[in-house]
Amino acid sequence: MSEAALTPRRMKDLDELCSRLGLNCGRMSLVNEALTHSSHAVENTGLKDYEKLEFFGDAVLKFVVSEYLLDRFPTYMEGQLTEIRAVLVSDKVLAEIAREINLDKYILLGRQVQMRPSIMADCLEALIGAAYQDLGLFPVQNLIVRLFGSHATEVDRDGTYENHKAILQEYTQGRAQGLPIYTVLNSEGPAHQPTFTIAVSIAGDAIATGTGPSKKQAEQEAARLAFEKLKEKEL
């Protein structure tokens, strides 16, 4: 489908997505293809689905992540880098990043298909492939580093990846305790190397605090500690 065949509303939505991701997309038909599930393509003659772009994006992602990890962890052995990369490019992390950028809002599905984490992961890879074909390597490198950088820190800490905020929220909602509330208590250090301290409260009670080089990482640490405390109380 050419840009001319896309509806004005769809063009506006895709342009908004590209802008939020810092991409100056020129070929919106590629972006649309990257976000079109095969079930939707079957129902709409002339549309291409994301499968080929996903194949290409997977290769681009692994290349960029490999280079990034070599630069970020210069003392690590090949085996360590391979393990971290495997977690970073897994469907679990890809789906989590896709949720962070609200990618599901832009994905086209068939009438009988429901959104799944695996579809979100596939579309993120396809979007990376589309961005590379449209814009080349450097914008895609910047995008991947922005999206995956903080997750690399989380993986490096213990060799696995857990979204502690999601785990804590599922736990509290399952017990009718409401949503965890995160509050910044402190930010110190130079601008290029800050340290944030964030508290997490549940039902008005402060449960734990976490620190980290970004608000996101401090929130994850606070959530991890809060979940551990709540589980200990059950023993």
Query: What is the side-by-side order of every strand in the sheet holding 181-188?
Result: 181-188, 195-202, 205-212
User: Are the C-beta atoms of 29 and 1 separated by less than 8 Å?
Assistant: yes
How many C-alpha atoms does 174 have within 13 Å on its Cβ side?
7
Q: Looking at 33, 54, 96, 125, which residue is catalytic?
A: 125
Clarify whether 91 is annotated catalytic.
no
For residue 75, the 8-state DSSP code is: T
Q: Looking at 3, 15, 43, 58, which residue is catalytic?
A: 58
Clarify whether 58 is annotated catalytic.
yes
What would the two tokens of residue 30 be?
A: 């590629």
Instruction: Give the angle subtended at the CA of 159 by the CAs of 212 and 129, to the nearest 5°.
Output: 90
Catalytic residues: 58, 125
